[in-house]
Amino acid sequence: MANSGLVADSIHVGTVDATGSPVFYWIAPEQCVIEAIYMVNTTGHVAHASNNNVFTVTNLGQAGAGTAVVAAQTNDSDVTGYAAITALVPYSITVAAAYAEMVANDVIKIVVTEGAAAQDLAAASFQIRYRRGCGVYYT
């Protein structure tokens, strides 16, 4: 099988009580393009208008001041493109191609926000899939 050049880094975070909007970080190990970000969790979360989870991934850059939203997703049933979270099934956090290109040592911040009385995440892990080099999204 040919090498696709796709690399995956996983971040195991365990139980997440999103009422405090916990933050997780990943550092781009080299110049790369993020192709996908997934979260997997041992509990299912139905789509709901107020009891929801919001995942926001921001590129802070090398100086820690960046604001470009690389990816975002919610299970808020009032939002177009929402998706329920199914236990033990990869939950895709939609990547914005325009902001997916990273340089070495860019810091990526993942924030989980909980609406109203949403369930906590249990045994949660995030996976960031990327390709080495740059320009994959740009032709």
Residue 135: its pLDDT value, please? Answer: 62
**Where exactly are the structural domains of the chain?**
19-116
Backbone φ and ψ for 98, nearest 5 degrees, come out as: -65, -20
C-alpha dihedral sign at 116, 46, 97, 34: positive
User: Which structure tokens are listed for 31?
Assistant: 């110049």
- Residues paired with residue 57 on neighbouring β-strands, in sequence order: 71, 110
Backbone φ and ψ for 61, nearest 5 degrees, come out as: 70, -170
The reported pTM is: 0.87
C-alpha–C-alpha distance, residues 62 and 9, integer Å: 19
Residue 139: its pLDDT value, please? Answer: 39
C-alpha–C-alpha distance, residues 91 and 95, integer Å: 12
pLDDT along the chain (139 residues), means of 10: 74 81 90 94 84 90 94 84 88 90 94 80 92 64
CATH of 19-116, one of 3.40.50.800, 2.60.120.260, 2.40.260.10, 3.40.50.1980: 2.60.120.260
